[in-house]
A and B are shown apart, each in its own frame.
Chain A
Amino acid sequence: MTSTTAVSVAPTLHAGETIRRSDRRLGIVMLAPALLYIALLVAVPFLLALFLSLTNSSAGSLEFSFVGLQNFENVIASPVFRRALRNTFVFTFVSQLAVIVLGNVLARALMKSFHGKAIARFLILLPWAAPISLATLGWLWIFDSTFSVINWLLKVAGWLGPGQWYYWLGDPTLGMVAVIMIHVWRMLPFSTVILLAGLTSIPNEVREASAIDGAGLFSRIFRIEIPMMKPLLTVAVLFGVVFTFTDMSVVYLLTRGGPYNSTHVLASLAFQEGVLGGDVGRGAAVAIFLVPVLVVLAIFMLRTSRRAEVV
């Protein structure tokens, strides 16, 4: 064993040196265009966003001047912004909580053997696959003020009496419920698929051993399966949070932030102020409030991914 290693060391070292040098050249040639692209279209706009938030620039005009932190002060003083900030957190937190609970239930059901399992696993992905903008239109019609099918069903079931009616998108609380419902609907398939992969990766022997040792269903779930699936659960939550936290299309298409600006999120408010309202500086300032949370998420993601050896 030792003699063969000794023989092969010298030529490998030599070849390794040549390879490393040509590697570096090829590596730089490959990396440069991609990194340049990211620098130009991600880093530059990002820095520009920071820069614009300190100016009073408006759309279509080349003139601007520095206003310091004026945009941020104005934004923080605005009740609409504070509501949007709160909504962004509420929507994300509540929908992710529901998604994780329901996702676990669904993944557990999809683990069992039953007829049509393959079709079921395909169908469940549809809400995640379909364009969210078009799906939101479907929900808009489901929540319609006159023809809401939910209200029709509630009426038939006797929940809504004569003269009673839910104006889903005309009421601040119901509007928030509607937005959360769509986020849950959209993210549930995603989490289910990831959790399903996690459940499948737990060897059956572990379950059997726990059963033999006398563990019940609950201690199996909470003491064995959840700890074993922790990296995957984190990934599911992380992606879910990023998607929900930064989404603007659901609110934009469903409520336009209404009624009375009660359902805005940071993303939709930034769009309204920065694009529709033409106040670029203010819009950028609103969006920048996403940064602290995203930094926390990034740190979190790096810690988990290093553990899962992704990066």
Chain B
Amino acid sequence: MVGELTWSRRLVGLWLPLTLLFVFALFPFAWMAATSLKANAELYDPTANPLWIRHPSLVHYIDLFKETNFVVWIGNTMLVATVSTVISLLLGVMLAYPLARMRFPAAGLLAITVAVTYLVPQTLLFVPMADLINRMKLGDTLTAVMLTYPTLLVPFCAWLLIGYFKTVPKELEEAALIDGASRWRAMTRVILPLCTPGFLSAGIFAFTLAQNEFLYALLFLNTSTIRTVPVGVTGELIRGDAFYWGQLMAAAFLGSLPVVLIYSFFVKYYVAGLTAGSVKG
């Protein structure tokens, strides 16, 4: 390092910004958790200190599981996220491998097209998409979201995998080809296994994005039992003007947990995925 940091410089350069920004980043989660543990009498008591939980209670969690379809929503979310992640990875490889590894007419143009697709937002597509889905008679089915989520995920997966495929030395593949392996065999036995970290990064990204998706789920999933967590919670725990804050916060907290758990296991790959390509320059 450049010189030793004094105690006061460490405070200003490290602990002060760190503490302030961490409070900002984590307070909403802490506040969700705290709120979810207070029974209504305490929650809506204007004289109480809101930062303190006097009588911790699990009543909102019990209500959430007994009175709402929360468990079903979690199941739906996992199912939808898994299926759309698998589809996205498959389509992502199918796009990325030829574009990264094969000499192909217009490969560059296609790669650019894929990258640009990533910029086409849901906001632009949802009005006609709703129309299309209804015409295909897929409205109000989980198939509708499983079919449409990959549109959000495939471009990123392909983009990330192109970067990964390019990092594997061409010689490895050429050696396999010269040894008599077919291109398909060289790809599935040599290149794809080497890109496991790339698949993990892309897969985690796709899985969490699919779990968090809100707009298409809001558009396509109307029946309570086929909803995902984000639309189920926002759609059914807010009834008109009535907000069930205890249950809402319990659901928001619990609903965020799966994603957080996935992160804690795979954070390294996720960060690698986020910065892949961009740090190579």
Q: Do chains A and B interact in one complex?
A: yes
Interface, chain A (partner B; CB < 8 A): 15, 19-20, 22-24, 26-27, 30-31, 33-35, 37-38, 41-42, 44-46, 48-49, 52, 59-60, 102, 105-106, 108-110, 112, 114, 120-127, 129-135, 137-142, 144, 146-147, 149, 152, 185, 188-190, 193-194, 197-198, 201, 204, 207-208, 211, 231-232, 235, 242, 245-246, 248-249, 253, 266-267, 270-271, 274-275, 280, 283-284, 287-288, 290-291, 294, 297-298, 301-302, 305, 307-311
Counting CB contacts under 8 A, is B50 at the interface?
Answer: yes
Counting CB contacts under 8 A, is B110 at the interface?
Answer: yes
Choice from A35, A52, A193, A207 contacting B128 with Cβ under 8 Å: A52
What residues on A are CB-neighbors of B280 within 8 Å? 308-310
Asked if residues B119 and A131 are in contact (CB atoms below 8 Å), the reply is no
Q: State A48–B279 Cα separation when bound (angstroms).
A: 37
A–B pairs, 29, beta carbons within 8 Å:
A31-B98, A38-B114, A41-B129, A41-B148, A42-B125, A44-B128, A45-B125, A59-B130, A105-B17, A109-B13, A122-B263, A126-B260, A129-B260, A131-B255, A132-B214, A134-B251, A135-B256, A146-B46, A149-B51, A188-B25, A207-B2, A271-B215, A274-B126, A280-B127, A294-B124, A302-B115, A302-B116, A308-B281, A311-B159
What residues on A are CB-neighbors of B256 within 8 Å? 126, 129-131, 134-135
Asked if residues A48 and B234 are in contact (CB atoms below 8 Å), the reply is no
Asked if residues B249 and A137 are in contact (CB atoms below 8 Å), the reply is yes
In terms of DSSP, what is the predominant structure of the interface of chain B?
A: helix
Q: With both chains docked as a complex, state the minimum distance between the C-beta of A179 and any C-beta of chain B, in angstroms.
A: 15
Asked if residues B14 and A194 are in contact (CB atoms below 8 Å), the reply is no
Q: State A30–B150 Cα separation when bound (angstroms).
A: 17
Asked if residues A284 and B127 are in contact (CB atoms below 8 Å), the reply is yes
Choice from A42, A122, A231, A284 contacting B117 with Cβ under 8 Å: A42
Choice from B94, B154, B233 contacting A137 with Cβ under 8 Å: B233
Asked if residues B91 and A311 are in contact (CB atoms below 8 Å), the reply is no
Choice from A45, A198, A249, A305 contacting B279 with Cβ under 8 Å: A198
Choice from A59, A112, A242, A275 contacting B121 with Cβ under 8 Å: A242
Choice from A112, A129, A139, A152 contacting B208 with Cβ under 8 Å: A129
Asked if residues A246 and B121 are in contact (CB atoms below 8 Å), the reply is yes
Q: State A272–B139 Cα separation when bound (angstroms).
A: 19
Q: State A225–B116 Cα separation when bound (angstroms).
A: 29
Asked if residues B103 and A20 are in contact (CB atoms below 8 Å), the reply is yes
Q: State A7–B255 Cα separation when bound (angstroms).
A: 64
